[in-house]
Chains A and B, each alone.
Chain A
Amino acid sequence: MFVRGEKMSSEEIEKEIRSIPLHLTTLDKMIIAHMVIGGIISGFLIEYLTTGYIDNIPKSFITTVIIAILTVLSGLTYYIILKRRFEKAG
């Protein structure tokens, strides 16, 4: 563990560099699946939930809120996955 502000040694940087693969991994395949499924869901949102009203509220408002929530969830999920993965890798 590092003390705040302490400089890393080059050995520790090397370790971090080695933990990143350049080839496609399982996580990368999950990312591609996320993009495909997310694209389909977003396509439906655009098609059916951006024009017209529900109880005087524009559908675009509902879509904007849904996408904001999905964006935060998406970032949080990857943050947790990556933290755990790097903890394991060291």
Chain B
Amino acid sequence: MVGILPIVVFAIYLAIYVSLPYIALKRGGRGVAEYLVAKGTLGKIPAIFTLIATYVSVYGFIGYAAAVYTAGYDWLLVDLTYNWFILVPMTVLLGFRVWKLAKIHNLITPGDFIALRTGSDIARLIYAILVFWAASFYIGIQFIALSGTASALTGISYHVFLVVFAIVAVVAIFIGGLRGVAYTDTFNGILFLSVLAIFIGFLISRWGSLNISEALRNPIFQRTLPTQYFVTAYLIAIAWPVLVPHLWIRYHAIERRDTITTSILSYALVWAVLYCIMPYILVMTFAAWWATPPKVTVPEEYVARFFSELIGPATATTAFLGILGAGISTADSIIQTCVATLYRDILETIVKPIAKWPEKKRELLARSMTIVVILFAMMAAYAPALPIIRIGVLFIWPLYSILAITVILALFWRRVNKYGFIAGLLVGSISQLLLQFVIWPTWPHNPWYLWEGALPTIIAGIATVIVSLITPPPPKDIIEKFYRE
């Protein structure tokens, strides 16, 4: 029993959380462009917070710690190493370009970018369907971590929290759209940092009672995967974190260029602390606290269990609201992007007359897509059979890399045409399914211990190049329009 305090705090948190999208609605006004992309007028503070909240999630804080504790240091190494030499420079290379193109051409979704560059609605549609597929699982893993943590802290059923978090996210996104999500991200971001400071304070105060030197002998702190796994992951998954659609759409919403400059430094600081140092410290303390890992329903419970035992369930539950806020922020960012994709890139593309509907009717239809998206995510999160990092490995990261490699080629190589782009997407995604579920169903889904997304991403890139070269070049007017400075 956690007592009345956490419940009161949770109620206050929810009240603030739901009121912020309402404030956003009042400030931003109405209309489809405002709902989907804040009309490209998002200010510096909410823009930076929403960029970071979109990337940094419970996956970073709770998921990594759980994965490293159960599967070893490899799972941290695979994501922490490339921040300094891939993620930071790729953000510089792509972030400003994506922002500029959105401003010049009034782009709303990444699908708009695809349609503009290829001149094909079929390319946009295929891209959007693949985004929707991957993002449904991505939202699902956020809900798994959120509900698993809340369930571990309170003893209340996982599925009860799954429904609660889904309703909260639906209400916030339905009302506030992207601007509302950015406001809640700012609130949750500040809350998260405050709570993190409190947790670090607790850890430091109890550090003397933990036998860290003994814990460090635990084999989980040793690398076991071969070098080629990491090398192929870094070389082939290079671009997806920048071009992942829920991050990409935020560049369309940013008003000013300098916001991107500041976000690069902010990202570096956040990646260093939350994706390098914090998971390692947490796992060290787990290893010192528990002689053997305790029994849990989902591995994502470990962080909550640890702090609950360290500082007591009532304090831990109260403080953990800040951590859960980070998870909700990422989830609602992805849901909002799925809503935009479903409405703009799928519905408007298939049912052409929608574009001629009155603005209010279109806006209502766009808002109602929130419910459809959340139902897909609930299906992905209903009965998790795998740790969230394994779900990411199977269903999310490889597909995002396939999407990114085709977009990068289209952005920097003018010879890419609609046939090449479509071929890259289809051949890449079909080969991913075949390799992962039919040919080599056992991880890492190839006999050479390459990163699981390496082969399908290479195949997607090759297909894009070959098909573009053997078919006519893209029309000159499309290229001139797209690349006009």
A residues adjacent to B (C-beta < 8 A)? 8, 13, 16-22, 24, 27-28, 31, 34-35, 37-39, 41-43, 45-47, 50-52, 56-58, 60-61, 63-65, 67-76, 78-79, 82-83, 86
Contact = CB atoms under 8 A, between A and B. Distances in A.
Contacts of A61: 216, 221, 280
B227 A78 contact: no
Contact of A16 (B85, B86, B257): B257
Given A39-B234, A46-B81, A22 B483 contact: yes
Given A22-B483, A38-B84, A60-B73, A71 B276 contact: yes
Contact of A51 (B223, B235, B238, B256): B223
A58 to B, nearest CB: 4
Given A8-B255, A75-B265, A86-B261, A67 B80 contact: yes
A79 to B, nearest CB: 4
Between B213, B227, B483, the greatest number of chain A beta carbons within 10 A of the residue's beta carbon is seen for B227
B269 A75 contact: yes
A74 B85 contact: yes
Given A20-B100, A42-B85, A71 B234 contact: no
A84 B198 CA distance: 37
Nearest to B265: A79
Contacts of A37: 85
Given A61-B280, A78-B89, A79-B262, A22 B73 contact: no
Nearest to A19: B257
A60 B220 CA distance: 10
Contacts of B76: 64
B82 A42 contact: yes
Interface in B72-90: 73, 76-77, 80-86, 88-90
Between B88, B269, B276, the greatest number of chain A beta carbons within 10 A of the residue's beta carbon is seen for B88
A45 B269 contact: no
Contact of A43 (B217, B231, B257): B231
Between B234, B262, B266, the greatest number of chain A beta carbons within 10 A of the residue's beta carbon is seen for B234
Nearest to B277: A68
Between A28, A69, A71, A79, the greatest number of chain B beta carbons within 10 A of the residue's beta carbon is seen for A71
B231 to A, nearest CB: 6
Contacts, number: 156
B305 interface: no
B272 A79 contact: no
Interface in B119-146: none
Contacts of B262: 79
B255 A69 contact: no
A71 B455 CA distance: 28
Contacts of A78: 88-89, 92, 264-265
Given A46-B77, A50-B222, A67-B276, A20 B84 contact: no
B104 interface: yes
A58 B234 contact: no
Contacts of B80: 64, 67-68
A5 B485 CA distance: 29
Given A51-B222, A68-B276, A42 B81 contact: yes
Contacts of A39: 85-86, 231, 234-235
Interface in B208-223: 213, 216-217, 221-223
A72 B85 contact: no
A46 B80 CA distance: 11
Contacts of A13: 103, 255-256
Given A24-B412, A50-B77, A71-B268, 20 more contacts: A8-B256, A13-B256, A16-B256, A16-B257, A17-B103, A18-B485, A20-B99, A22-B100, A22-B101, A35-B86, A43-B230, A56-B217, A58-B222, A63-B77, A67-B272, A68-B277, A71-B272, A71-B276, A74-B268, A78-B89
A56 B213 contact: yes
Nearest to B98: A20
Nearest to A12: B256
B85 A41 contact: yes
Interface string B48-91: 00000000000000000000000001001100111111101110
B416 to A, nearest CB: 15
A60 B88 contact: no
Contacts of B99: 20
A57 B100 contact: no
